[in-house]
Every structure is written in C-alpha cells, then in structure tokens.
Amino acid sequence: MMPVHINDIYYEPEKQFCGLYVAAKIAVPDFDPTLELLAVLNESKVCFLSISSHRSNDVVHNFVTLDLTDKPKLKEEIVEKVSEKFGSRLTYLECADSGVPGLIFNVNGYPVILNLSGRPLQVAAMTTTGWKNLVMGMIRRYGADATLMLWNMGSDFGEAHGKILADIRGLSDRNRIRIGLAVLQALGWGKFELTECDEFGKLVVIRATENFEELITREMLDYENRFLLGFFVGLVSRVFDKACRGTEVKCTKLGDPYCEFVIR
C-alpha cells in the first residue's frame, strides 16, 4: 500500500515508527549529547528519519524519529545502550511508539514529521487559548445557537475527514476510525480510544481524555462537547456511508474519568 496523507499527517501503513526522546547534561568539549546519541544509532545500524535538538541551560533535548519496522528488539537495545553510555548525565529517556503503524508521533502524541511526499501543506493550528476565545465569542454573540453551530462545524469537518479515510483501500472500517482518531491525537486534540466498533457501524464508542474542547470550557459545567460530538458523528457517518446519531454519555466535568461518545 502506498504512503498517503490524511489531512496534514503522513501515513505509511507498512511502517512502524518510533520516537526516541533523550535529555542529557552537556559537558563541552568532553560530552555532546547529540553527537553521542548519533554514535549509538550508528553503532546499532539504525537509520533515523529526523532529529530535532534544543538546549535549555546545561541540558540538551534530542528527539529522533526512527523506523523500526521488523526490528522491534532494537528499541530495547538502543535504550540500554543510551542509558549505559550517558550514565549520570542522562536526565530523561523515553522511546515512544505511535500506537498506530504508519503514523509518526513525538512522546506527547503530536506529529514530528508532516508531508514527506514532496507536497508540503501548511498546517494552521491554534492553541487552546485561541480555541477558547473562538468558542466563548460564539457563545457570547449567539447564545444557545452557538452549540448547534459548533455541532454543525464539527460534523462538516468530521465528514471531510471521513471521506479521506473512506477512500483508502485495503483497510477495515474499524481501522479507518482508529487511524482517524490517531490523526486527531497527532493534531493535539486530545487522547482518544475506540472501545467499541462493530463491523456494520451500528455502534461506535469513543473515549476521550485531555480533549481540547473540555479543557477550554472547563468553567462552563453545563457545556457539552458539541464540536467533538459533531465531528465523531460526521466521521462515522462518512466511513460507514450512512446517517448516524450520537450522544455524549460520560464527561470529566461530571466526575467521570473520561468523556465517552456513543454513535449509532
């Protein structure tokens, strides 16, 4: 299957990517964490796809994207070698899988590599503060009608997202939904889990934690996640090619451990 783009996220289904995050103290000229990390990767004969590095005081933070397809044992080997070589200089080490083969993430679940096909697209993003200003402005101007507007916006967005997924051949509809949720996580919308999904799309259950809509409306206890609900309904409707309805049955604002959405 050929690599494709899902919105602005690069997806190559035959690959298993991994993000290696290493933070270590620098001691120039005796110990350069970036050079030492590259030496470990070279010794292990691992090709990396990207590396980003920045320094904060005397600590250097390196994030490397690795292709460990068919080499799962190399991850443990690299972690062991880095720990041994860096010793007491090491302040943080994590090797994070994407969770979905073919998608590239950093340790927080957000994207590291976008658009490797040579057709780069601009990624327009807002912080949670920007989203909060947008949503609060809509509620202030349009009152109760704002929630319907947000639902419709989410639904339209979800349908467009679902169309891209539906056009990818060789995937089950369940996997299309899973990949769609992974892309949302890559975009920083939150963390999502597909807990139920029958093959006919009669019941789909999605759990969300740290989702951006809940975060920006935390002080509005009676607010439901209308944008996300609309998105999930639009996404599932498009993937299964039939009209669906959805409800939010659990919410962290009510003391639940997660927000849960049921689409039928």
Kindly state whether residues 85 and 136 are assigned to the same domain: no
In sequence order, which residues have a C-beta less than 8 Å from that of residue 9 and are 6 or more positions away?
A: 103, 111, 114, 183, 186, 187
- Band of the pLDDT at 122, cuts 50, 70, 90? very low
Q: Given 3-state DSSP classes, what are the helix, strand and coil percentages for the chain, each rounded to the nearest 5?
A: 40, 25, 35
Dihedral sign for Cα atoms in the order 203, 204, 209, 213: negative
Q: Which two tokens stand for residue 187?
A: 């975009």
Kindly state whether residues 253 and 132 are assigned to the same domain: yes
Q: Each residue of 208-254: pLDDT tens digit?
A: 998 999 988 988 878 889 999 999 999 999 999 999 999 999 999 88
Least confident of 25-39, 126-140, 150-164, 227-241: 126-140
Closest CA to 183 of 68, 38, 11, 3: 11
CA angle 182/184/188 to nearest 5° reads 115
Cα–Cα distance measured from residue 28 to residue 38, given in angstroms and rounded to the nearest whole number = 16
Cα–Cα distance measured from residue 99 to residue 32, given in angstroms and rounded to the nearest whole number = 31
Cα–Cα distance measured from residue 220 to residue 226, given in angstroms and rounded to the nearest whole number = 13
Q: Which domain holds residue 23?
A: 4-97
Cα–Cα distance measured from residue 103 to residue 186, given in angstroms and rounded to the nearest whole number = 9
Number of structural domains found in the chain: 2
Which residues lie across from 48 on neighbouring strands?
A: 66
User: What is the pLDDT averaged over residues 46-66?
Assistant: 85
Is 71 part of a structural domain of the chain? yes
Kindly state whether residues 142 and 248 are assigned to the same domain: yes
Kindly state whether residues 139 and 258 are assigned to the same domain: yes
Is 118 part of a structural domain of the chain? no
Is 110 part of a structural domain of the chain? no
Cα–Cα distance measured from residue 180 to residue 169, given in angstroms and rounded to the nearest whole number = 14
CATH of the domain at 93: 3.30.70.260
How high is the mean pLDDT of the chain?
84
Q: Each residue of 170-201: pLDDT tens digit?
A: 889 998 998 889 888 877 788 899 999 987 77
Kindly state whether residues 93 and 132 are assigned to the same domain: no
CATH of the domain at 133: 3.30.1380.20
* pTM, to two decimals: 0.69
Give the per-residue pLDDT at 67.
85
- Band of the pLDDT at 118, cuts 50, 70, 90? very low
Is 112 part of a structural domain of the chain? no
Is 107 part of a structural domain of the chain? no
Give the DSSP H or E segment for 50. Answer: strand 48-56
Q: pLDDT > 70: what percent of the chain?
A: 86
Cα–Cα distance measured from residue 58 to residue 45, given in angstroms and rounded to the nearest whole number = 29
